[in-house]
Amino acid sequence: MDPSMTTFDAIMFPADDRPPHVVPLMTSALTLPTSSAEPYRCGRVPHPEVYMDYIADQLGSQAWRFHLVEALDGMMQKFATPYIVFYPTVSRDGMPFPVNKCIREIEADRFDEARAWRGNLVVAKYKDNKYSAMIDASMADFPIIKNYLSTHLAPS
């Protein structure tokens, strides 16, 4: 493996019938600090597109977006170790990504097809609320993410 590539465990929520599970999220060194956006503050570029079915090829980070998970509803303080949900936005064929069945089940009665999470989601964990370093997530983080996704529809 390329020495500039580092992996961190992340949680993947597949769009199909597979259950959520831990995957190695590959990251590469950020060569030019062109963005102060949260996923890049740690000096690494995450590659969640590896796990996103039907995503446009050759676009890299332009084919996905991210959503910060910094607290659950009702919390007075942010998480000490926040999360970022990576989700696909540009498909290979221009068609919409399939509704994520796992998250549809989690949302239950709150499900709204117009604001549904679509495609495979990858959730990474960060060391602090400055997003200074990515750290390994585990299935112990799953209940927190599940709780968040049960009350938050996809970004519009």
> Pairing state of beta strands 64-69 and 44-46?
unpaired
Of all residues in the chain, the percent with pLDDT exceeding 70 is 95
pLDDT in the model for residue 39: 77
pLDDT in the model for residue 44: 86
Residues of the chain with pLDDT under 50: none
Q: What radius of gyration do the chain's Cα atoms show? A: 15
Q: What is the DSSP letter of 146?
A: H
Please provide the DSSP assignment of the chain as one string. --TTEEEEEEEEE-SSSSPPEEEEEEEEE-SS----SGGGTTSEEE-GGGG-TTBPTT-GGGGEEEEEE---TT-SS--SS-EEEEEE--BSSSPPPPB-HHHHHHHGGG--GGG--BS-EEEEEESSTT---EE---GGGHHHHHHHHHH-PPP-
CA–CA distances in Å: residue 82 to residues 34, 67, 103, 111, 136? 22, 11, 20, 24, 12
Name the helix (H) or strand (E) containing 142.
Answer: helix 142-151
**Per residue in 128-155, pLDDT tens?**
988 889 999 999 999 999 999 999 999 9
pTM: 0.92
